[in-house]
Amino acid sequence: MWITPQWAAPAGVHAAFTLRSGGVSAAPFDTLNLGAHVGDDPLRVAENRRRIVQALALPSSPVWLQQVHGIAVHELGEGGVAPRGPADGAVTRVRGRACAIMVADCLPVLFAARDGSVVGAAHAGWRGLAAGVLEATVRAMGAPAGDLVAWLGPCIGPRHFEVGEEVRSAFLEGDAGATRAFQRGHGDRWWCDLPQLAQRRLAACGVGAVAADGSCTFTDRERFFSFRRDGQCGRMAALVWMAA
């Protein structure tokens, strides 16, 4: 039903990455779809979300963001009211509040301060990654970057994420070394390594303790949803929270 991240998070910080099994949704959202925006039955999505809260023994329901491939980051405070407006990152200093990012090929990145005082999550598709969503999330956490640890979750692998020159140019504009994350594809296309690009961005802003899951959502149909593979599909979630 979920993967438990293997990273250097301090005691009291918990995290999970949900898989596609264990829910009630029908094809093509089978079965543990957590996205309410993909065309699934809202009642089934609600039941899937309830199951995750129960299975993970979450202190409260996660805050589900309106993700738009941007760089806005919401800070989650006390109470159950979610911040208004779209965002692709969330941070919290409140124990029991769960940050959640939904994905189906994009890279989820979780953060925690070594002293356990703040956690965060970011949705890093190529647009948000190139625009600075990781840097924005690090700033929003309010802790020195060197005091943070990060985890890169499952995403589409570098042999299955083919992009155009505009994507490569967006990364090379501010980092000539990012060329290492691109390999020649078909014609004028490029194979893009999202985790490598994320690690470069994190290193540049001072986050050195980075662990990566390494799983490819495109190739592992049994465990993961993949938008590029299937088109219409469900969404998985990466969650991080501090014990209440």
Residue 76 is which amino acid? L
Q: pTM for the full model? A: 0.96
Q: Rounded distance, CA 232 to CA 204, Å?
A: 35
Q: Rounded distance, CA 110 to CA 163, Å?
A: 25
CATH of domain 2-159+212-242: 3.60.140.10
pLDDT (tens digit per residue) in 23-77 = 999 999 999 999 999 999 999 999 999 999 999 999 889 999 999 999 999 999 8
Q: Rounded distance, CA 140 to CA 238, Å?
A: 18
How do the domains of the chain map onto residue ranges? 2-159+212-242
Q: Are 25 and 41 in contact (CB under 8 A)?
A: yes
Q: How confident is the model at residue 104 (pLDDT cuts 50, 70, 90)?
A: very high
Q: Give the pair of three-digit tokens for residue 21.
A: 């099994």
The C-alpha angle with vertex 166 and arms to 197 and 228, in degrees rounded to 5, equals 70
Q: In what order do the strands lie in the sheet with 236-242?
A: 2-3, 13-18, 236-242, 99-103
Q: Give the pair of three-digit tokens for residue 72.
A: 């806005």
Q: What is the pLDDT of residue 83?
A: 75
Q: Rounded distance, CA 30 to CA 24, Å?
A: 7
Q: Rounded distance, CA 197 to CA 171, Å?
A: 8
